[in-house]
Amino acid sequence: MVKALVSAPPTTTILDFWRLWAEIKGVELVVQVDKVFHAAGVPEWMAREIHESKLYVSKYGWAGGDPEVKKPEEAGVEMDKLMDVEQYMREESYKGFM
């Protein structure tokens, strides 16, 4: 999965990834975003960490604005040798996934 996502175009988002997957596999996609994190059964420290991480990433992005963070191709990944994400989804069986 990671290789497939890395090979996706830079503007691909997670939602687009799942939308494409649902279309290819012929299943309905339902996205539900809760404004409140339901922490039932989750330790307090973990609920706090998840909430704070969500706030941080929403404001600063995954890399936190760090200019030293490299894109895969800048780190030597030969992007043209990776399988296209759509091709990967079509060829993967996902047996046992759903």
pLDDT of 80 above 50? yes
Residue pLDDT, tens place only, 55-78: 888 888 777 888 887 777 887 888
Q: Taking all residues of the chain, what is their mean pLDDT, rounded to a whole number?
A: 78
pLDDT band at 5 (very low <50, low <70, confident <90, very high): low
pLDDT of 19 above 70? yes
Under DSSP, the state recorded for 2 is: H
Residue 36 phi/psi, 5-degree rounding, is -115, 135
pTM, whole model, 2 decimals?
0.41
Return d(Cα 93, Cα 25) in angstroms, integer.
9
